[in-house]
Chain A
Amino acid sequence: MSRMVIMQGNEACALAALKAGCRFYAGYPITPSSEVAETMARELPKVGGTFIQMEDEISSAAAIIGASLSGVKSMTATSGPGFSLMQEGIGYGVMTETPCVFVNVMRGGPSTGMPTKPAQGDIMQLRWGTHGDHQIIALYPSTVEEVYKYTIKAFNYAEKYRTPVFLVMDETLGHMRESFFLTDEEENPEIIQRIKDTEFSDDELFHPFDLGEDRTVAPLVGMGKTRFHVSGLVHDETGFPAGQAEVAEKMIKHLDSKIRMYSEEISIYEEYMLSDAEIVVVAFGTTARSALRAVKMARSDKIPVGLFKPVTIWPAPVSRIKKLFRSANAFIIPEMNMGQYAQELSKLNKTNKHIEMLNKINGELITPEEILDSITKVWIQLTEI
């Protein structure tokens, strides 16, 4: 029976994590994500989970990876400065193919920036923050209901693709309280679990990276039923370091292909009135809400504009965007940063369509009126003979 609830963005993230089976949280206080830690501190003991506040973000990243490798779903939450500290740990999570969820509630940057103001300045860092070649999955909801839904999705993706997954928010979304209908599906979501039932022989070590004949992702088993070795060094399927060229090639390409080959399946996006749109607004997070409103206002003025909202900002929904670049005539990309996503998307613009950037980095949300102004301006340019 679905019911109307009201939750804070950060709170919804924590509660959804618990729903998805998260039973370990290690974190460090940082505005604007501290409420995630506080909710977890209150709720985890009630479900038999464990909470700890670590001494810094570096150790928080390490602790959740340790917990996950041992067999327990885990999560941490932070913001810009803390996210920068976690990069080495994230790289280790990528290399050891550890499923875990990192929440980044973006705030004004760079450096200490504006702790209580929203921004979208970490878009490229989410993709390339840690060193070396890697693929990553990052989900960025735009309403509190989506925070709930997509946190559960983040955990499922982490398990399915054996990778760290980022659940991204901005300060406005993290701190606002919003009502939504909690549907039956959201109350009883599908959860992907790890293998539990296989029996293992005592003589052999488990190979945590064994793809077998036909698997894309090696199954992971918790410690206890058997035992295994992992390392951040380049390794083969046994988990032990092996630096030969063929091993390195195989392993690093595997890390890349296990997500790249499935990017269609992984990417999630929403569309509004795109079927006859000549102008496409591409927006994500809280900006997508302003964009939705702006598109509705523009449509009342009969401007053929639509909204494309990537939920998985990484991997970007490349093939859908390429199709849009062919069908539409102009793009407007509002972002609370200096054009990070626009720069990436423009690489897909093979037919030289007009891209209008709308950048705001003063700690305030982009308003529907600002986007509407852009839409109107672009429409006038398009319809000039």
Chain B
Amino acid sequence: MNLSIPISIRISGQGGQGNILMGIILAEALVKEGYWVVQTQHYGAQVRGGLSFCDVLFDKEPIDFPVAETFNIIYLMHDVAASHTKLLKNNGILFYDSEYVNLKKDAVGRITKKIVEVQATKIAYEKINNTGVSNMVALGAMVKTTNIISFETLIETMKENVKPSFYDLDTKAIQLGYDSVEKVYALKLDDKITKLVRGFE
């Protein structure tokens, strides 16, 4: 039996940084692009602060187990989630926000060489004067580097998830994030959906 393993993304940081919104937008965009998608999240009692993370899994077949133990892509938004670096798959892609994450590059370097520094908070602060949208800058950078969805789908999905008064701000933030990274580590993605139903008799 050929068991497909979904591609897994984890975005982790502190409560209030907006990682769950990032995950929701990515999940919805991936559905539009034609994948089976599962998104789960974890948070504690704190609305602001504390560990909070969001996982997005996508595959060309229906996904059985909705949680991953290791990830193809990890985005670290804050040092509180530093321990998640050891969950990266070999040669996976690790993004980190240099403002809040003190990355031990040697340790991570043993797992992968694809380490991308994203100055999401700095860009959000300096170019838009609003650190609240650093999660949008992060999204733009992630999508440029991994190429898992198109830029247009990303913007369209963002607009379905935020209030109209935020459209311009968020579009600008995503664009800035997109432009802030050069290297592309495109994931090898097979064709889209091949199986329409789950495997029950």
Contacts and interface: CB of A to CB of B under 8 A. Distances in A.
Direct contact of A and B (CB under 8 A): yes
Interface string A270-282: 1111100000000
Q: Among B1, B63, B64, B199, find the residue whose CB has the most chain A CB atoms closer than 10 A.
A: B64
Interface in A288-303: 289-290, 292-293, 296-297, 299-300
Given A271-B201, A292-B199, A175 B41 contact: yes
Interface string B2-15: 01000000000000
Contacts of A98: none
B66 A172 contact: yes
Interface in B156-170: none
Contact of A176 (B31, B39, B198): B39
B201 A181 contact: no
Nearest to A6: B31
B66 A4 contact: no
Interface string B22-45: 001001100100111111111111
A176 B66 contact: yes
Contacts of A272: 199-201
Contacts of A296: 1, 3, 64, 199
B157 to A, nearest CB: 10
Nearest to B198: A143
Interface residues of A, number: 30
A6 B196 CA distance: 15
A177 B30 CA distance: 12
Contacts of A367: 65, 67, 69
Interface string A342-364: 00000000000000000000000
Contacts of B37: 6, 177-179
A365 B67 contact: yes
A115 B198 CA distance: 30
B78 to A, nearest CB: 19
A125 interface: no
B14 to A, nearest CB: 16
A381 B147 CA distance: 48
A299 B37 CA distance: 25
A289 B1 contact: no
A4 B31 contact: yes
Contact of B201 (A6, A172, A179, A273): A273
Nearest to B196: A181
Contacts of A290: 64-65
A142 to B, nearest CB: 10
A292 B38 contact: no
Nearest to A364: B67
A76 interface: no
Interface in A1-58: 4-6
B35 to A, nearest CB: 8
Interface string B51-74: 000000000000111110100000
B47 to A, nearest CB: 12
17 contacts: A5-B31, A6-B31, A115-B45, A143-B198, A172-B40, A172-B66, A175-B41, A176-B39, A177-B27, A177-B38, A177-B39, A179-B31, A179-B38, A181-B196, A271-B200, A300-B3, A367-B65
